[in-house]
Structure 1
Amino acid sequence: MARNDDRRQRLADAGLAVLAREGARGLTHRALDREAGVPTGTASNYFRTRAELVHALADRIGQRLAPDPDTVAGLRSGEAGPAMFADHVRDIVRRLGAEREVTLALFELRLEAVRRPEVAEVMGEWLRTGFAADVAYNRAAGLPGGPAEIALFHYAVDGLLLDRLTLSIDPDTPTDTVVDALVDGLLPPAQGAGATSSTR
Protein backbone atom coordinates (compact mmCIF):
# COMPACT_ATOMS: atom_id res chain seq x y z
CA MET A 1 0.00 0.00 0.00
CA ALA A 2 1.40 3.40 -0.98
CA ARG A 3 1.93 5.75 1.93
CA ASN A 4 1.24 9.48 1.87
CA ASP A 5 1.67 12.30 4.34
CA ASP A 6 -2.00 13.30 4.33
CA ARG A 7 -3.14 9.83 5.33
CA ARG A 8 -0.42 9.56 7.97
CA GLN A 9 -1.58 12.87 9.43
CA ARG A 10 -5.20 11.73 9.29
CA LEU A 11 -4.32 8.57 11.17
CA ALA A 12 -2.35 10.51 13.77
CA ASP A 13 -5.29 12.86 14.30
CA ALA A 14 -7.53 9.81 14.67
CA GLY A 15 -5.14 8.45 17.29
CA LEU A 16 -5.30 11.68 19.27
CA ALA A 17 -9.09 11.59 19.16
CA VAL A 18 -9.14 7.98 20.39
CA LEU A 19 -6.67 8.79 23.18
CA ALA A 20 -8.66 11.77 24.37
CA ARG A 21 -11.95 9.86 24.31
CA GLU A 22 -10.98 6.34 25.40
CA GLY A 23 -7.52 6.58 26.93
CA ALA A 24 -4.45 4.54 26.05
CA ARG A 25 -6.27 1.21 26.34
CA GLY A 26 -8.45 2.16 23.39
CA LEU A 27 -5.48 3.09 21.22
CA THR A 28 -5.23 0.16 18.80
CA HIS A 29 -4.49 -0.01 15.09
CA ARG A 30 -8.06 -1.15 14.45
CA ALA A 31 -9.45 1.79 16.47
CA LEU A 32 -7.35 4.19 14.38
CA ASP A 33 -8.67 2.64 11.17
CA ARG A 34 -12.26 3.03 12.36
CA GLU A 35 -11.77 6.59 13.60
CA ALA A 36 -10.02 7.69 10.40
CA GLY A 37 -12.50 5.86 8.17
CA VAL A 38 -9.82 3.90 6.33
CA PRO A 39 -9.60 0.20 5.41
CA THR A 40 -8.67 -2.25 8.14
CA GLY A 41 -4.92 -2.69 8.26
CA THR A 42 -4.07 0.83 7.14
CA ALA A 43 -2.77 2.02 10.52
CA SER A 44 -0.56 -1.03 10.98
CA ASN A 45 0.93 -0.36 7.57
CA TYR A 46 1.98 3.13 8.67
CA PHE A 47 2.89 2.37 12.29
CA ARG A 48 4.19 -1.17 12.71
CA THR A 49 5.06 -0.83 16.41
CA ARG A 50 3.64 0.98 19.42
CA ALA A 51 6.79 3.12 19.56
CA GLU A 52 6.34 4.20 15.92
CA LEU A 53 2.74 5.14 16.66
CA VAL A 54 3.68 7.10 19.77
CA HIS A 55 6.40 8.94 17.81
CA ALA A 56 3.82 9.91 15.19
CA LEU A 57 1.33 11.06 17.83
CA ALA A 58 3.95 13.14 19.65
CA ASP A 59 5.01 14.76 16.38
CA ARG A 60 1.39 15.56 15.55
CA ILE A 61 0.79 17.02 19.02
CA GLY A 62 3.76 19.32 18.45
CA GLN A 63 2.37 20.42 15.09
CA ARG A 64 -1.13 21.09 16.35
CA LEU A 65 -0.02 22.93 19.49
CA ALA A 66 2.68 25.00 17.79
CA PRO A 67 2.28 28.77 18.17
CA ASP A 68 1.22 30.90 15.25
CA PRO A 69 4.29 32.80 13.95
CA ASP A 70 2.32 36.04 13.59
CA THR A 71 1.05 35.74 17.15
CA VAL A 72 4.59 35.16 18.42
CA ALA A 73 5.82 38.20 16.50
CA GLY A 74 3.09 40.27 18.11
CA LEU A 75 3.93 38.97 21.58
CA ARG A 76 7.57 39.95 21.09
CA SER A 77 6.83 43.43 19.75
CA GLY A 78 6.78 45.12 23.16
CA GLU A 79 9.29 45.53 25.94
CA ALA A 80 10.77 42.25 27.16
CA GLY A 81 9.84 41.80 30.81
CA PRO A 82 7.32 40.20 33.17
CA ALA A 83 4.30 41.57 31.29
CA MET A 84 5.52 40.05 28.03
CA PHE A 85 6.27 36.81 29.84
CA ALA A 86 2.69 36.78 31.15
CA ASP A 87 1.38 37.31 27.62
CA HIS A 88 3.41 34.32 26.40
CA VAL A 89 2.11 32.10 29.20
CA ARG A 90 -1.44 33.26 28.50
CA ASP A 91 -1.03 32.38 24.82
CA ILE A 92 0.25 28.90 25.72
CA VAL A 93 -2.71 28.27 28.02
CA ARG A 94 -5.19 29.51 25.41
CA ARG A 95 -3.69 27.35 22.66
CA LEU A 96 -3.65 24.20 24.77
CA GLY A 97 -7.13 24.92 26.09
CA ALA A 98 -8.51 25.50 22.60
CA GLU A 99 -7.04 22.18 21.42
CA ARG A 100 -8.75 20.23 24.20
CA GLU A 101 -8.59 16.87 22.43
CA VAL A 102 -4.88 17.22 21.68
CA THR A 103 -3.99 18.31 25.21
CA LEU A 104 -5.97 15.47 26.78
CA ALA A 105 -4.22 13.04 24.42
CA LEU A 106 -0.87 14.44 25.59
CA PHE A 107 -1.85 13.84 29.22
CA GLU A 108 -2.88 10.28 28.31
CA LEU A 109 0.49 9.60 26.68
CA ARG A 110 2.30 10.89 29.75
CA LEU A 111 0.24 8.57 31.94
CA GLU A 112 0.91 5.67 29.59
CA ALA A 113 4.63 6.44 29.84
CA VAL A 114 4.45 5.46 33.51
CA ARG A 115 3.24 1.99 32.53
CA ARG A 116 5.17 1.29 29.33
CA PRO A 117 8.96 1.82 29.03
CA GLU A 118 8.77 2.14 25.24
CA VAL A 119 6.30 5.00 25.58
CA ALA A 120 8.41 6.56 28.34
CA GLU A 121 11.45 6.57 26.07
CA VAL A 122 9.63 8.39 23.28
CA MET A 123 7.73 10.85 25.46
CA GLY A 124 10.69 11.54 27.76
CA GLU A 125 12.82 12.65 24.82
CA TRP A 126 9.95 14.67 23.37
CA LEU A 127 9.29 16.49 26.65
CA ARG A 128 12.96 17.22 27.35
CA THR A 129 13.48 18.56 23.83
CA GLY A 130 10.46 20.81 24.19
CA PHE A 131 11.61 22.08 27.57
CA ALA A 132 15.09 22.89 26.24
CA ALA A 133 13.50 24.79 23.35
CA ASP A 134 11.34 26.78 25.78
CA VAL A 135 14.38 27.75 27.85
CA ALA A 136 16.31 28.75 24.72
CA TYR A 137 13.37 30.81 23.43
CA ASN A 138 12.98 32.59 26.76
CA ARG A 139 16.66 33.48 26.80
CA ALA A 140 16.72 34.64 23.17
CA ALA A 141 13.64 36.81 23.72
CA GLY A 142 15.21 38.43 26.79
CA LEU A 143 12.34 37.32 29.00
CA PRO A 144 12.75 36.97 32.76
CA GLY A 145 13.32 33.56 34.31
CA GLY A 146 15.81 30.80 33.69
CA PRO A 147 15.46 27.01 33.53
CA ALA A 148 14.20 26.74 37.12
CA GLU A 149 11.43 29.27 36.56
CA ILE A 150 10.47 27.74 33.20
CA ALA A 151 10.20 24.34 34.88
CA LEU A 152 7.95 25.83 37.57
CA PHE A 153 5.71 27.31 34.88
CA HIS A 154 5.49 23.94 33.15
CA TYR A 155 4.36 22.36 36.41
CA ALA A 156 1.86 25.15 37.04
CA VAL A 157 0.47 25.31 33.49
CA ASP A 158 0.11 21.52 33.30
CA GLY A 159 -1.86 21.58 36.54
CA LEU A 160 -3.99 24.51 35.39
CA LEU A 161 -4.85 22.79 32.10
CA LEU A 162 -5.66 19.53 33.83
CA ASP A 163 -8.01 21.48 36.09
CA ARG A 164 -9.66 23.40 33.25
CA LEU A 165 -10.01 20.46 30.85
CA THR A 166 -11.33 17.96 33.39
CA LEU A 167 -13.00 18.85 36.70
CA SER A 168 -12.13 22.28 38.00
CA ILE A 169 -11.71 23.09 41.67
CA ASP A 170 -12.54 26.75 40.94
CA PRO A 171 -14.35 27.11 37.60
CA ASP A 172 -15.56 30.65 38.34
CA THR A 173 -12.09 32.22 38.42
CA PRO A 174 -11.09 33.34 34.89
CA THR A 175 -8.12 31.48 33.49
CA ASP A 176 -6.31 34.75 32.67
CA THR A 177 -6.60 35.75 36.32
CA VAL A 178 -4.93 32.48 37.32
CA VAL A 179 -2.14 33.06 34.79
CA ASP A 180 -1.53 36.57 36.15
CA ALA A 181 -1.26 35.17 39.67
CA LEU A 182 1.12 32.44 38.52
CA VAL A 183 3.44 34.96 36.87
CA ASP A 184 3.44 37.23 39.91
CA GLY A 185 3.98 34.30 42.26
CA LEU A 186 6.58 32.27 40.37
CA LEU A 187 8.96 34.83 38.93
CA PRO A 188 11.66 36.05 41.33
CA PRO A 189 10.38 39.06 43.32
CA ALA A 190 12.50 41.61 41.44
CA GLN A 191 11.19 40.27 38.14
CA GLY A 192 7.62 39.43 39.05
CA ALA A 193 6.49 42.57 40.88
CA GLY A 194 3.80 44.24 38.87
CA ALA A 195 4.23 41.64 36.14
CA THR A 196 0.69 41.80 34.90
CA SER A 197 -0.04 45.50 35.17
CA SER A 198 0.22 46.07 31.41
CA THR A 199 -1.15 42.80 30.04
CA ARG A 200 -4.73 43.89 29.51
Structure 2
Amino acid sequence: MRQNTERRTALLDAAIEVLAREGSRGLTLRAVDKEAGVPTGTASNYFANRDDMLTQIMRRTRERLTPDEAAHADLLKAPRDLALEREFMRDLVARMRADRSGYLAMLELRLEATRRPGLRDELTGFLRDELQGVIAFHRDIGMPGDDAGVALLYLAMSGLLLDEMTLPGVLAAAPHDVDGLVRAAVSRVFGDSVPPDAR
Protein backbone atom coordinates (compact mmCIF):
# COMPACT_ATOMS: atom_id res chain seq x y z
CA MET A 1 0.00 0.00 0.00
CA ARG A 2 1.21 3.48 -0.85
CA GLN A 3 2.11 5.83 1.99
CA ASN A 4 1.88 9.27 0.33
CA THR A 5 -0.23 10.97 3.00
CA GLU A 6 -1.29 13.96 0.89
CA ARG A 7 -2.36 11.73 -2.01
CA ARG A 8 -4.26 9.42 0.34
CA THR A 9 -6.10 12.39 1.87
CA ALA A 10 -6.96 13.73 -1.60
CA LEU A 11 -8.30 10.32 -2.62
CA LEU A 12 -10.35 10.04 0.57
CA ASP A 13 -11.80 13.51 0.07
CA ALA A 14 -12.68 12.54 -3.50
CA ALA A 15 -14.26 9.32 -2.22
CA ILE A 16 -16.36 11.31 0.26
CA GLU A 17 -17.64 13.51 -2.58
CA VAL A 18 -18.51 10.48 -4.70
CA LEU A 19 -20.20 8.70 -1.80
CA ALA A 20 -22.23 11.78 -0.87
CA ARG A 21 -23.29 12.45 -4.47
CA GLU A 22 -23.68 8.95 -5.92
CA GLY A 23 -24.27 6.76 -2.89
CA SER A 24 -22.58 3.47 -2.16
CA ARG A 25 -23.31 1.98 -5.58
CA GLY A 26 -21.46 4.80 -7.29
CA LEU A 27 -18.41 4.47 -5.06
CA THR A 28 -15.88 2.68 -7.23
CA LEU A 29 -12.11 2.98 -7.42
CA ARG A 30 -12.46 4.33 -10.95
CA ALA A 31 -14.98 6.97 -9.78
CA VAL A 32 -12.62 8.01 -6.98
CA ASP A 33 -9.72 8.32 -9.43
CA LYS A 34 -11.84 10.46 -11.76
CA GLU A 35 -13.07 12.71 -8.92
CA ALA A 36 -9.52 13.17 -7.62
CA GLY A 37 -8.20 13.87 -11.11
CA VAL A 38 -5.55 11.16 -10.93
CA PRO A 39 -4.63 8.39 -13.37
CA THR A 40 -6.91 5.35 -13.45
CA GLY A 41 -5.65 2.74 -11.02
CA THR A 42 -4.24 5.20 -8.50
CA ALA A 43 -6.86 4.50 -5.80
CA SER A 44 -6.22 0.76 -6.00
CA ASN A 45 -2.70 1.49 -4.73
CA TYR A 46 -4.10 3.06 -1.55
CA PHE A 47 -7.01 0.80 -0.60
CA ALA A 48 -6.64 -2.94 -0.07
CA ASN A 49 -10.32 -3.55 -0.85
CA ARG A 50 -13.74 -1.90 -0.61
CA ASP A 51 -14.05 -2.51 3.14
CA ASP A 52 -10.67 -0.87 3.69
CA MET A 53 -11.74 2.11 1.61
CA LEU A 54 -15.04 2.47 3.53
CA THR A 55 -13.23 2.29 6.87
CA GLN A 56 -10.72 4.93 5.78
CA ILE A 57 -13.57 7.12 4.49
CA MET A 58 -15.24 6.82 7.90
CA ARG A 59 -12.10 8.02 9.67
CA ARG A 60 -11.51 10.87 7.21
CA THR A 61 -15.13 11.98 7.45
CA ARG A 62 -14.85 12.26 11.22
CA GLU A 63 -11.61 14.23 10.85
CA ARG A 64 -13.39 16.69 8.59
CA LEU A 65 -16.40 17.03 10.88
CA THR A 66 -14.45 17.37 14.14
CA PRO A 67 -14.68 20.80 15.82
CA ASP A 68 -11.89 23.29 15.28
CA GLU A 69 -9.82 23.42 18.48
CA ALA A 70 -9.28 27.18 18.27
CA ALA A 71 -13.01 27.85 17.90
CA HIS A 72 -13.79 25.60 20.85
CA ALA A 73 -11.07 27.27 22.91
CA ASP A 74 -12.88 30.58 22.43
CA LEU A 75 -16.21 29.02 23.37
CA LEU A 76 -14.70 27.52 26.51
CA LYS A 77 -13.97 30.99 27.86
CA ALA A 78 -17.72 31.42 28.45
CA PRO A 79 -19.60 30.47 31.64
CA ARG A 80 -20.79 26.86 31.83
CA ASP A 81 -24.51 27.44 31.27
CA LEU A 82 -27.28 26.83 28.76
CA ALA A 83 -26.10 29.73 26.61
CA LEU A 84 -22.79 27.90 26.10
CA GLU A 85 -24.63 24.64 25.40
CA ARG A 86 -26.65 26.41 22.70
CA GLU A 87 -23.43 27.79 21.20
CA PHE A 88 -21.97 24.28 21.06
CA MET A 89 -25.09 23.08 19.24
CA ARG A 90 -25.05 26.05 16.84
CA ASP A 91 -21.41 25.27 16.11
CA LEU A 92 -22.38 21.67 15.40
CA VAL A 93 -25.06 22.72 12.90
CA ALA A 94 -22.68 25.20 11.25
CA ARG A 95 -19.96 22.55 10.87
CA MET A 96 -22.36 20.07 9.29
CA ARG A 97 -23.70 22.72 6.90
CA ALA A 98 -20.14 23.71 5.96
CA ASP A 99 -19.27 20.11 5.07
CA ARG A 100 -22.55 18.72 3.77
CA SER A 101 -20.68 16.12 1.68
CA GLY A 102 -18.94 14.82 4.79
CA TYR A 103 -22.24 14.56 6.65
CA LEU A 104 -24.02 12.83 3.75
CA ALA A 105 -21.10 10.43 3.31
CA MET A 106 -21.42 9.46 6.97
CA LEU A 107 -25.13 8.76 6.42
CA GLU A 108 -24.23 6.56 3.46
CA LEU A 109 -21.69 4.73 5.62
CA ARG A 110 -24.39 4.09 8.21
CA LEU A 111 -26.61 2.54 5.55
CA GLU A 112 -23.75 0.50 4.13
CA ALA A 113 -22.95 -0.72 7.65
CA THR A 114 -26.35 -2.44 7.80
CA ARG A 115 -25.11 -4.73 5.00
CA ARG A 116 -21.43 -5.12 5.94
CA PRO A 117 -20.76 -6.67 9.35
CA GLY A 118 -17.13 -5.52 9.44
CA LEU A 119 -18.05 -1.92 8.72
CA ARG A 120 -20.97 -2.16 11.16
CA ASP A 121 -18.66 -3.25 13.97
CA GLU A 122 -16.09 -0.58 13.12
CA LEU A 123 -18.65 2.22 12.77
CA THR A 124 -20.59 1.16 15.87
CA GLY A 125 -17.44 1.22 17.98
CA PHE A 126 -16.33 4.50 16.47
CA LEU A 127 -19.64 6.30 17.06
CA ARG A 128 -20.09 4.73 20.49
CA ASP A 129 -16.67 6.05 21.51
CA GLU A 130 -17.56 9.43 20.03
CA LEU A 131 -20.78 9.64 22.06
CA GLN A 132 -18.96 8.60 25.23
CA GLY A 133 -16.35 11.26 24.45
CA VAL A 134 -19.05 13.91 24.11
CA ILE A 135 -20.57 12.85 27.43
CA ALA A 136 -17.16 12.87 29.15
CA PHE A 137 -16.29 16.28 27.66
CA HIS A 138 -19.59 17.70 28.89
CA ARG A 139 -18.98 16.34 32.37
CA ASP A 140 -15.27 17.25 32.50
CA ILE A 141 -15.75 20.92 31.63
CA GLY A 142 -18.52 21.29 34.19
CA MET A 143 -21.54 21.83 31.95
CA PRO A 144 -25.01 21.71 33.50
CA GLY A 145 -27.13 18.59 33.22
CA ASP A 146 -26.36 14.91 33.44
CA ASP A 147 -25.10 12.17 31.15
CA ALA A 148 -28.62 11.10 30.13
CA GLY A 149 -29.38 14.69 29.14
CA VAL A 150 -26.29 14.81 26.94
CA ALA A 151 -27.34 11.55 25.26
CA LEU A 152 -30.86 12.92 24.72
CA LEU A 153 -29.52 16.14 23.22
CA TYR A 154 -27.21 14.07 20.97
CA LEU A 155 -30.23 12.13 19.71
CA ALA A 156 -32.34 15.27 19.26
CA MET A 157 -29.56 16.98 17.29
CA SER A 158 -29.03 13.84 15.20
CA GLY A 159 -32.66 13.95 14.12
CA LEU A 160 -32.58 17.70 13.49
CA LEU A 161 -29.43 17.39 11.39
CA LEU A 162 -30.82 14.47 9.42
CA ASP A 163 -33.78 16.54 8.25
CA GLU A 164 -31.79 19.76 7.83
CA MET A 165 -29.12 18.10 5.69
CA THR A 166 -31.33 15.81 3.60
CA LEU A 167 -34.84 17.29 3.42
CA PRO A 168 -34.72 20.84 4.79
CA GLY A 169 -38.29 21.45 3.63
CA VAL A 170 -39.47 19.27 6.52
CA LEU A 171 -38.14 21.75 9.07
CA ALA A 172 -39.39 24.69 7.02
CA ALA A 173 -42.88 23.72 8.19
CA ALA A 174 -41.82 23.55 11.85
CA PRO A 175 -43.00 26.24 14.29
CA HIS A 176 -39.40 27.54 14.59
CA ASP A 177 -36.34 27.88 12.41
CA VAL A 178 -33.37 25.58 13.06
CA ASP A 179 -31.80 27.98 15.55
CA GLY A 180 -35.10 28.22 17.43
CA LEU A 181 -35.33 24.43 17.53
CA VAL A 182 -31.76 24.22 18.86
CA ARG A 183 -32.61 26.71 21.63
CA ALA A 184 -35.77 24.78 22.49
CA ALA A 185 -33.97 21.42 22.53
CA VAL A 186 -31.26 22.64 24.90
CA SER A 187 -33.77 24.32 27.21
CA ARG A 188 -36.12 21.35 27.31
CA VAL A 189 -33.41 18.76 27.82
CA PHE A 190 -31.48 20.63 30.49
CA GLY A 191 -33.93 23.24 31.80
CA ASP A 192 -35.16 21.30 34.84
CA SER A 193 -31.64 20.29 35.86
CA VAL A 194 -30.18 23.79 35.79
CA PRO A 195 -30.54 26.43 38.52
CA PRO A 196 -32.73 29.33 37.31
CA ASP A 197 -29.87 31.84 37.52
CA ALA A 198 -27.79 29.72 35.09
CA ARG A 199 -30.42 29.47 32.34
After TM superposition, the score normalised by the length of structure 2 is 0.90
Are 1:97 and 2:97 matched, yes or no? yes
What does the per-residue CA deviation read over 1:95-114, in whole Å, with 9 as the maximum and x for residues that have no partner? Answer: 11221111011111111111
The residue correspondences of 1:1-200 to structure 2 (distance < 5 A) are 2-167=2-167, 168-171=169-172, 173-187=176-190, 189-191=192-194
Pairwise CA distance, 1:17? 0.4
RMSD, aligned CA: 2.0
Task: Name the CA distance, whole Å, in 2 between partners of 1:150 and 1:122.
Answer: 23
- Extract structure 1 runs of 4+ deviating beyond 3 A: 192-195
- Alpha-carbon deviation of 1:174? 2.4
Distance 2:123 2:99 in 1: 19
Q: 1:74 to 1:158 in 2, by over 3 A?
A: same
1:82, 1:192 within 8 Å by CA — same for their partners in 2?
no
Give 1:153 deviation, angstroms. Answer: 1.8
Asked if structure 1 preserves the Cα contact closer than 8 Å seen for 2:51 and 2:119, the reply is: yes
Q: Any conservation in 2 of the 1:29–1:44 contact (CA below 8 Å)? A: yes
Point out where structure 2 has 5 or more consecutive residues left out of the alignment.
Answer: none
- Residues 139 and 147 of structure 2 are in contact (CA less than 8 Å); yes or no, is this contact kept in structure 1? no
Q: Identity over the aligned pairs, expressed in percent? A: 42
CA distance in 2, matches of 1:150, 1:3: 39
In the alignment of these two chains, the number of paired residues is 196
Q: Any conservation in 2 of the 1:19–1:27 contact (CA below 8 Å)?
A: yes
In the TM superposition, what whole-angstrom CA distance separates every residue of 1:43-80 from its partner, at most 9, and x where no partner exists? 12111122321221122112211211221111111111
Shift of 1:188: 5.2
- Using the TM superposition, name which of 79-88 and 141-150 deviates more: 141-150
Deviates more, 1:139-148 or 1:13-22: 139-148
Q: Is the 8 A contact 1:97 1:161 kept in 2?
A: no
The one-letter code matched in structure 2 to 1:187 is: F
